[in-house]
């Protein structure tokens, strides 16, 4: 659904949300070719994780507080990591080939999501002195590898 920019909802203006929506479309196309025996297994899990990314971004953008927004973005990042792992598993099991375009989109989505979290978190820190409970314990949160 493309709306005029003045009629877009807050999440629809975010490049990271658009990237996440593209990932969902790609995941649905890929999983359509998975074996029927995986319909309730990896297919369902992968689709659920993929849908969770833009859904959590959208829900966070609709929240009133910055901390809630960051919390939902963190959940989106978790779903993105889950999806990345499940795509690797699908490749290892021979259900799907590695697709460089999807890997690039996944990397870009991670980078944009991390940048948005950092931006909101640094704005929040200027208001308070204590570290965010949603700060990644990963030493280099820019990388998902």
Name the burial class of residue 68, with classes exposed (0-12), middle (13-18) and buried (19+) by CB atoms within 10 angstroms of its CB.
middle
Domain, as residue range, for 118: 11-125
Q: What is the pLDDT of residues 35-65, one digit of tens each?
A: 999 999 999 999 999 999 999 999 999 988 9
Task: Number of helices (H) and strands (E) in the chain: give both, helices first.
Answer: 4, 0
Is pTM beyond 0.85? Reply is no
Q: Is residue 130 part of a domain?
A: no
Classify residue 145: in a domain, yes or no.
Answer: no
With respect to residue 35, please indicate whether it lies within any of the assigned structural domains. Answer: yes
Angstrom distance (rounded) from CA 37 to CA 70: 37
């Amino acid at each position: 659904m493309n709306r005029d920019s003045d009629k877009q909802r807050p999440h629809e203006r975010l490049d990271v949300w658009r990237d996440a929506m593209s990932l969902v479309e790609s995941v649905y196309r890929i999983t359509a070719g998975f074996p029927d025996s995986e319909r309730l297994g990896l297919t369902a899990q992968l689709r659920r994780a993929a849908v969770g990314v833009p859904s959590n971004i959208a829900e966070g953008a609709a929240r009133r507080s910055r901390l809630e927004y960051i919390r939902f973005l963190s959940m989106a990042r978790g779903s993105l990591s889950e999806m990345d792992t499940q795509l690797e598993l699908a490749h290892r099991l021979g259900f799907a080939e590695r697709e460089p375009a999807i890997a690039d989109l996944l990397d870009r989505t991670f980078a944009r999501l991390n940048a948005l979290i950092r931006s909101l978190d640094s704005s929040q820190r200027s208001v308070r002195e204590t570290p965010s409970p949603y700060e990644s314990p990963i030493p280099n949160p820019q990388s998902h590898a």
